[in-house]
Amino acid sequence: MNPRTPWQALTRPRFPLGAWPWRVAGYLVSGALVGAVAAAGLLVLGVFSLLLVGLPPLLLSGIALGRVERRRLGIVDLDPAPDPHRVPTAPGLAAWFRTRTKEQATWRELAYALLLATVLWPLDLLALAVGVGLPAALLGAPFQLALDGREAKVVKAYLVTSYPEALVAALLGAVLLLALAYPLAAVAGARAALARALLTPRESGGSDGIGEVIASRARLVDAFEAERRRIERDLHDGAQQRLVALTMTLGLARLDAPPGGPLAEQLAKAHAEAGQVLGELRELIHGIHPQVLADYGLGPALADAADRSAVPVDTDAEGLPRLPRAVESAAYFAGREALANIGKHSGARRARITARHRDGVLRLDVEDDGRGGADPAGGSGLTGLADRIAVLDGTLTIMSPPGGPTLLRVEIPCPAPTASSASSSPRTASSSARD
């Protein structure tokens, strides 16, 4: 397995000859530069904030610097550094700032910015001076002697007057450069670990416990979907087929009954009632697990839900790949519940569904031009959906200011399917819902 941090790279025999010493040097050099700029910027912002406007500019600078440092962390730490901030619950700068001030991540970023501006960047510079500057000065002894012609003073202490002495100094510099690469990598590893601890989300509990929780939640989702499909199959193959047979029997009985009599009237009523119950049962089966979702995927299923909506809906879900069944199911029912709420409560004239799968995340947006003011705690059914999406490590966000518009956003992380898996995975098409 390839090393992903400087500490892991240190255990490799070919560490000095690979790319990691260059990564380490680049991380420390960029840290010194960013830290020096941050020191000057925070000094100016600090005076400006304390004298005029208070704390907001300092908080904003900490957030911006945290974003830069998470990107820079990728030089020496190949694991992703996720953004720890939440999506604001409402649009607008005021809602965004309220959300940020209530997050621990914002204050950790400010603490890191102050630490970088006062302590860390001088340490980066010192480590570079010892680990790179000193060997480079010794390696340059022959060039210094050639330029002067008579003598060269190496690192302001060692006087070289001949080329053999200069070559010895250069050889010593090469040895030091290789030897000091190890402590320099250890310093960079410690710096990266500190940055990750302060700038990325921290999980409670051990990794084994987290893995077991994730695995158990995945099993729960799979069991839920399997039970849903079993109920749908039993209703289709059992109750629905019996109702179809009953409807046909009543229709034949109507043909045999004397027309215009009380028996024909009662049979007509029974036949109509049986047809109505059959239609309701088919709608119920469609709601439990629509066949279009199983056969064709999320995009066509959302288009089908839009066609059934009481409000005109524009759909934009082109190019969606086939995703895990639990993900497709959760996104579909979130979209359908959102459309149902739009039809019942929003007073909207039009709605729009947009679904995209990018960078390993499925994002579903449902927008409407209604009156707004949607509250998930008001019994709209969205709380249960949010819990179901959370089982998949996803998030459900509602932005609905009074007066509208309303945006419901679902984000579920799921890897993009490979070409081989997409071609080999069957599109499960159970016998249900083919009437």
Q: Residue ranges of the domains in the chain?
A: 6-199, 210-288, 291-424
Cα(336)–Cα(301) distance, rounded to whole angstroms?
10
**Confidence band for 200, pLDDT divided at 50, 70 and 90:** confident
Q: What is the dihedral of CA 136, 138, 142, 143, to 10 degrees?
A: 30
Q: Among 118-132, 188-202, 287-301, 334-348, where is mean pLDDT lowest?
A: 287-301
Q: Which residues pair with 398 in a beta bridge?
A: 408
Nearest partner of 363 among 402, 397, 403, judged by Cα: 397
Segment 169-196 mean pLDDT: 90
Cα 333 to Cα 286: distance, rounded to the nearest angstrom: 12
The SS3 call for residue 246 is helix
User: Do residues 83 and 109 lie in contact, with contact meaning Cβ atoms separated by under 8 Å?
Assistant: no
Who wins on pLDDT, 388 or 224?
A: 388
Structure-model confidence comparison of residues 255 and 412, the more confident one = 412
CA distance 299 to 316: 8
The residue with tokens 């399997």 is: 226
How far apart (Å, rounded) are the C-alpha atoms in residues 160 and 166?
A: 6
pLDDT (0 to 100) of residue 424: 40
Give, as one character, the DSSP assignment of residue 430: -
- With CA atoms as reference, report the closest residue to 320 among 425, 424, 422, 430: 422
Q: Is the pLDDT of residue 125 over 90?
A: yes
Rounded Cα distance, 286 and 294, in Å: 11
Superfamily of domain 291-424: Histidine kinase-like ATPase, C-terminal domain (3.30.565.10)
What is the predicted pLDDT for the residue at 75? 93
* Of 384 and 313, the one with more pLDDT: 313
Q: Is 136 exposed, middle or buried (0-12, 13-18, 19+ CB in 10 A)?
A: middle
* pLDDT exceeds cutoff 80 at 112: yes
| Separation between Cα atoms, residue 196 and residue 193, nearest integer Å | 5
Given pLDDT bands bounded at 50, 70 and 90, which one contains residue 383?
Answer: low
- Alpha carbons 250 and 243: distance in angstroms, whole number: 10
pLDDT greater than 90 at residue 88: no
What pLDDT is attached to residue 224? 58
What is the structure's pLDDT at 120? 92
Given the structure tokens 């989300």, which residue do they identify? Answer: 201
Higher pLDDT, 295 or 412: 412
Per-residue confidence band for 206, with pLDDT thresholds at 50, 70 and 90: very low
CA distance 297 to 424: 15
Task: Give the model's pLDDT for residue 151.
Answer: 75
pLDDT tops 90 at residue 28: yes
Does position 168 have pLDDT exceeding 80, yes or no?
A: yes
Rounded to a whole number of angstroms, the CA Rg of the chain reads 33
Averaged pLDDT, 367-378: 76
What is the distance between the alpha carbons of residues 257 and 246, in angstroms, rounded to a whole number?
16
Give the confidence band of 390 by pLDDT, cuts at 50, 70, 90. confident
Q: What is the pLDDT of residue 184?
A: 92
Start-to-end CA span in the chain (Å): 53
- The predicted pLDDT at position 51 comes to 59
- Joined together, the tokens standing for residue 224 give 């839920």
**What region, left, alpha or beta, does residue 172 occupy, with left being phi > 0 and alpha being psi -120 to 50 degrees?**
alpha
State residue 384's pLDDT score.
66
pLDDT above 90 as % of the chain? 19
Tokens coding 221: 């989702």
Specify which of 43-47, 169-173, 214-218 reaches the highest per-range mean pLDDT. 169-173
Residue 235 is predicted with a pLDDT of 62
264-314 pLDDT tens trace: 778 777 877 777 776 666 656 555 567 778 788 888 888 888 888 888 999
User: Can you say how many angstroms the Cα of residue 337 is from the centroid of all Cα atoms in its chain?
Assistant: 23
* More confident: 362 or 345: 362
pLDDT of residue 230: 65
More confident position, 426 or 168: 168
CA gap 244, 278 in Å, rounded: 7
Residue 416 has pLDDT above 70, yes or no: no
The average pLDDT across 413-428 equals 53
Q: What are phi and psi of 408, to 5 degrees?
A: -110, 125
Confidence band, pLDDT 50/70/90 cuts, at residue 431: very low
pLDDT of residue 426: 40
Max mean pLDDT among 68-82, 207-221, 375-389, 421-435 falls in 68-82
Average pLDDT score, the chain: 78
Higher pLDDT, 143 or 75: 75
**Average of pLDDT values for 237-258?**
75
For residues 18 and 233, the model is more confident at 18
Tally the C-alpha atoms within 13 A of residue 121's C-alpha that lie toward its C-beta.
20
CA distances from 401 to 89, 246, 370, 405, 408 (A): 10, 51, 10, 7, 12
Please give the pLDDT value at position 418: 52
